[in-house]
Amino acid sequence: MSDVTEKDKELVAGLMARARAAQKEFEANFTDQDQLYEIAQHIAWVGFKYAEEIADMAVRESRMGKYESKVAKMQTKMRGNIRDLKNAKTVGVVEEWPEKGLTRMVKPVGVIGAIIPCTNPEATPFLKGMNAIICRDAIIMSPHPRTAGTNKFCCDLMRKVLKKFGAPEDLVLSIDEPTLGASQELMAQCDLVLATGGSGLVKAAYSSGTPAYGVGAGNAVVIVDETADLDDVANKVYMSKTFDNATSCSSENSLVVQEDVYDELLAKLQAKHGLLCNEEQQEKLRQMMFLPTGHYNGKKGFAGATPEKIAELAGITDMPEGTEFFIVRENPKTPDEIGSFEYPFGGEKLCVVLNVFKYKDFQTAIDIVNACHRFSGLGHSCGIHTKREDRVMELSAKTYTSRVMVNQPVCLANSGSFTNGMPFTLSLGCGTWGGNSASENITYKQCLNNTWVARPCKEDKPADEVLFGKAMESDL
Ligand code: NAD
C-alpha cells in the first residue's frame, strides 16, 4: 500500500462521495426492472455503435492488439452481455420457496471499484458498467495508466446514456489520471472490488480489506488427440491464437499433441501462417522473452505486439512475410521440467507465440497440462480437441481449471459464445487454485447482495436413523 499518496486519497474520496450520492438516488428512484434493462440495452448499443472509434483508440493507447479483433470483440460482447441480461432479475424479490417459507430479495452492493486491464481496455468497462447499472450500483473505473483516454471515452458514453434516462451520471465515474496508488486507494474505499488483471493486481485486491472478486492470469493449454479433426483444430487455433494479437488471458498458449498426429498438425498450422521456428529462432525468442525464473518479461514490449515487432525485438531477421504467429516446440524429459528458463514456453506469454508439446499416452498429456498450470495460470482454462467423450471427462476430472473447452477455440469460447452455454464476461474467475474467490465467469450476479426472508415452515427434521444411517452402528 506504499504507493498511495495524499493526492490519491483525496481524489478517490471525492469520486466516492459523488458515486455514493448517485447510487443512493438511483436505488431509490429506479425500481422498474424493464427500465433498468432498457438502460443496459442503451449502454450495450453505444458500445456496439462506437466499436470502431473505441478499438482504434485502444490499440493506439495500449500499443497492444489488433483493430479488427477489438471491433469484433466489442460487437460480440455487447450482443452477448445484453442477451444474458434479458431475463436477469436485479430488483426486489427474485425467488420464493413457499414450502420452506423462504424469499430471496436482491439489493445493490453499493459502489464498485473496477480495475481495468491494459490488455482489454475497450470492452471491459462496458461489461462491468452494464452489469453494475442493471443492479443499481455505482461504478468507478480505474484503468491502466496507458489506456486512460479509452476508459474515459467509454465512461463518457455510458454517462450520456444515464443522462438520457434522467439517471445520475455519476453512477459511472473514471479515474482520468490513473496511478497505482489511486487504484489501490479505490480498492480500499469502495464497497466491492472487481479486479481484472494479473497476479500482482489480484493479490493487491485481496489485500485491500474490501470484498473482492479478483480474476487472475490465464494460460490456456489444449490437448489434441489422434481422433481430432486436424483441419478444424488448425483453423480454430489459428483464429484464437491470432485474435487481438493474443492479448487475451484465454489465448492458447500451448498445444499438447499426440505423437501420431504431431507432424501433420504442425504442417497444417504452418499453412495457417504460422512460422515453425528453427532452433536459432526459438532460442532468440527465449532469450528475449523470459526472465531467469522462466516467467515472461512484461517490460520487453512484446505483449500484444505484431509478429513483425516480436521478430525485431528478438533479432529474428528471416521471418517470412505474412507470418501471423510463431510456433515453438518444447520437449522436456519429464513434465516437471516445465516452467524454468530452460523450458519457459509452457507459461503465459500474452503474444502470438504458440508452444507445442508432443505426448504418447493420454495420462502424460494431462500431466503436461497440470505442469504448465502449476507454473502459470492455475485454475483458468484448458481445452481438448477429440472425438472421445471419455477423454473430455478424464481431463476435466484430473486438472485444476475452472473451464474445459471442448473442440473450440478457447479465447472465442470460454468467456461466452453464442454456440456454447458459457455466460458472457471479460473476467474469468480461477477458483482457489488461482487465488480467487470465484471459479466461474463473473457476471451481474456478483454485483448484488441477497436478503433472505425466512418464515417458520413445516418442520423438516428427519429421524436420526435417516440422518446418520449406518454411522450410528459404528464403533467410533
Ligand atoms: P495487470 O495486472 O498488469 O494490470 C491490470 C490493471 O491493474 C491495470 O489497470 C493496472 O494499472 C492495475 N494494477 C496492476 N497491479 C496493481 C497493484 N499492485 N495495485 C493496484 N492496481 C494494480 O494486467 P494487464 O497487463 O492489463 O493484463 C494482463 C494480465 O491479466 C494477464 O496475466 C492476463 O492473463 C490477466 N487477465 C486475466 C483476465 C481474467 O478474466 N482472468 C482478464 C484479462 C486479463
Cβ(356)–Cβ(261) under 8 Å? no
Confidence of residue 417 (pLDDT cuts 50, 70, 90): very high
Backbone angles phi, psi at 374, to 5 degrees: -60, -35
Helices (H), 208-344: 230-242, 259-271, 279-289, 307-314
pTM recorded for the entire structure? 0.96
d(CA 393, CA 230): 21
Q: Tell me, rounded to whole angstroms, the distance of Cα 298 from its chain centroid.
A: 18
Q: Judge whether residue 322 has pLDDT over 90.
A: yes
Helices (H), 251-361: 259-271, 279-289, 307-314
| Residue to substitute in 2, 183, 437 for testing ligand 1 pocket (most ligand atoms within 8 angstroms of CB) | 183
329-375 pLDDT tens trace: 999 999 999 999 999 999 999 999 999 999 999 999 999 999 999 99
Interval 15-41 mean pLDDT: 98
Interval 73-91 mean pLDDT: 98
Tell me the residue type at 88.
A
Residue 286 pLDDT: 98
211-242 pLDDT tens trace: 999 998 999 999 999 999 999 999 999 999 99
Q: Judge whether residue 103 has pLDDT over 90.
A: yes
d(CA 283, CA 287): 6
How many CB atoms within 10 Å of residue 344? 25
Looking only at the bridges linking them, the beta strands covering 111-115 and 192-196 are parallel
Residue 207 pLDDT: 95
- Could you list the active site residues? 249
| For ligand 1, atom 8: residue with the closest CA | 144
| For ligand 1, atom 13: residue with the closest CA | 201
State the chain's mean pLDDT as an integer. 97
The set of protein residues with a Cβ atom below 6 angstroms from ligand 1 is 115-120, 143-144, 180, 183-184, 196-198, 200-201, 204, 215-218, 249, 348, 427-428
Distance from the CA of 172 to the center of ligand 1, in angstroms?
Answer: 21
**What are the beta bridge partners of residue 174?**
141
Interval 256-273 mean pLDDT: 98
Residue 38 pLDDT: 98
Distance from the CA of 202 to the center of ligand 1, in angstroms?
Answer: 8
d(CA 65, CA 61): 10
d(CA 240, CA 217): 17
- Take residue 33 and report the three cell numbers written for it: 426492472
Q: Judge whether residue 41 has pLDDT over 90.
A: yes
d(CA 224, CA 361): 12
Sequence-ordered list of residues with C-beta below 8 angstroms from that of 314, at least 6 positions apart, any chain: 281, 284, 285, 287, 288, 289, 302
Interval 410-429 mean pLDDT: 97
| For ligand 1, atom 18: residue with the closest CA | 201
Q: Residue 367: enclosing H or E segment and its boundaries?
A: helix 362-375
Residue 2 pLDDT: 63
- Which ligand 1 atom is nearest residue 298's CA? 25
Helices (H), 50-167: 51-62, 67-85, 124-134, 148-164
**What are the beta bridge partners of residue 448?**
108
d(CA 443, CA 206): 19
- Which ligand 1 atom is nearest residue 415's CA? 40
Confidence of residue 165 (pLDDT cuts 50, 70, 90): very high
Interval 417-432 mean pLDDT: 97
Interval 403-407 mean pLDDT: 98
| Residue to substitute in 1, 4, 219, 249 for testing ligand 1 pocket (most ligand atoms within 8 angstroms of CB) | 249
Ordered structural domains, the chain, with CATH: 6-215+442-454 (3.40.605.10), 220-415 (3.40.309.10)
d(CA 25, CA 418): 36
Cβ(391)–Cβ(219) under 8 Å? no
- Which ligand 1 atom is nearest residue 147's CA? 9
Cβ(382)–Cβ(395) under 8 Å? yes
- Which ligand 1 atom is nearest residue 442's CA? 40
- Within 13 Å, how many C-alpha atoms sit on residue 415's CB side? 27
| For ligand 1, atom 22: residue with the closest CA | 201
- Which ligand 1 atom is nearest residue 143's CA? 9
Distance from the CA of 196 to the center of ligand 1, in angstroms?
Answer: 6
| Residue to substitute in 174, 177, 185, 201 for testing ligand 1 pocket (most ligand atoms within 8 angstroms of CB) | 201
Tell me the residue type at 450.
N
Distance from the CA of 217 to the center of ligand 1, in angstroms?
Answer: 8
Confidence of residue 446 (pLDDT cuts 50, 70, 90): very high
Cβ(251)–Cβ(411) under 8 Å? yes
Distance from the CA of 166 to the center of ligand 1, in angstroms?
Answer: 34
Q: Which of 451, 399, 392, 446 is nearest to 423 (CA)?
A: 446
- Burial class, 324, CB count within 10 angstroms (exposed 0-12 / middle 13-18 / buried 19+): middle
171-190 pLDDT tens trace: 999 999 999 999 999 999 99
Q: Judge whether residue 1 has pLDDT over 60.
A: no
Confidence of residue 62 (pLDDT cuts 50, 70, 90): very high
